[in-house]
Amino acid sequence: MRKWLLRLHLYLGLLCSGYLMVFGVSSLVFNHPLDFTKPSKATVTWERSLPLPPINRENNEAESEAVRDALALMGWTIPWETHRDGGGDLHFGLARPGKHYTIHVLRGAGAVRVEERREGYWTVVRSLHGNHGVPHSNLMTAWGWYTEICTLFVLFAAVTGVYLFASRKKDRRAAWAVLGAATALSLGFMLYVRYGG
C-alpha cells in the first residue's frame, strides 16, 4: 500500500509540477500586484474581409459569438461593451486570457475591424490560475481538465503525504507535532477571521 501511494504521490506530482509552479506564481501576483505585472496596453488594429454571419438584431450575444467564431477567435463576449450603432452594425468587446478585443462589424464593407490589446505574459499567468475553459478553445478546455486534475491531486497529496510520513519512523514524531500545532492554529485563525475578524 505504501509503495503504491508513494508512486501515485510522486508521479502525479511530477505531472502537476508545471501547473503548481504557475499556480504559486499567479497567487503571489494576486497578492502583490507590482507595476511590471500589470496588463500591457499595447494595441494593434487590424481588419479582415470575410463572409459575415446573418444580422441578428434580436440577439446581440448570438451575433457577437457568430462573428467571433467566423474570425476563429476564442473568448467571452462582453455584454456591457456591446451596442449597435445607428446603421445597425454591431460593436462588441471580447475577452480571453492575454488579450482583449474591441470588434466592429462593418457590414457595408463586408469586413470586421478589430482593436486588439495584448496584455502580456503576467496577465496570462494570472488568467491561468484556476482557469477551467475558454469558449471556442479546445486547448483551454484541456487546460480546464488539467486544473481539475491538479486541484484534486493537491487534496490527494495532502492526505497521502500525511500517510507517507506517518508510516515511516524517521521524523514521524516531529512531523505529527508540527502538523497538530500548525493545523490547530490555522483552523483557529480561520474561525477567528470568519466569526470575529
Partner 1 sequence: MYDTIRRIHLYTGVGLLAFVVMYFFTGYALIHGDWFPRGEPVKSTREEPLATAIGASPEEYSAVLQRQFGLAGKRQPPVRTNDGGWRFEYIHPGESHQAVVPPAGGTVRITTTSQFPARQTLVQFHRLHRYGGGWVYDLWMVMYDLASASMIVFALSGIYLWYKLTRRRLLGWTLLAISFLFTAGTMLYLVHAP
User: Which residues contact partner 1 (rule: CB under 8 A)?
Assistant: 10-11, 13-25, 27-28, 30-31, 33, 72-73, 96-99, 118, 120-121, 124-125, 127-128, 130, 132, 139-140, 142-143, 146-147, 151, 154-155, 157-158, 161-162, 165, 171, 175, 178-179, 182-183, 186-187, 189-190, 192-197
- Nearer Cβ to partner 1, position 92 or 143? 143
- Of residues 52 and 74, the one with the C-beta less far from partner 1: 74
Helices (H), the chain: 2-31, 60-70, 121-128, 138-166, 172-195
In the complex, least distance from residue 18 CB atom to partner 1, rounded to whole angstroms: 4
User: Given the complex with partner 1, which of 18 and 88 has the nearer CB atom?
Assistant: 18
- Block residue for cell numbers 434580436: 58
Count Cβ neighbours within 10 Å for each residue of 85-113 and write b for 16 or more, e otherwise: eeeebbbbbbbbbbbbbbbbbbeeeeebe
d(CA 181, CA 145): 35
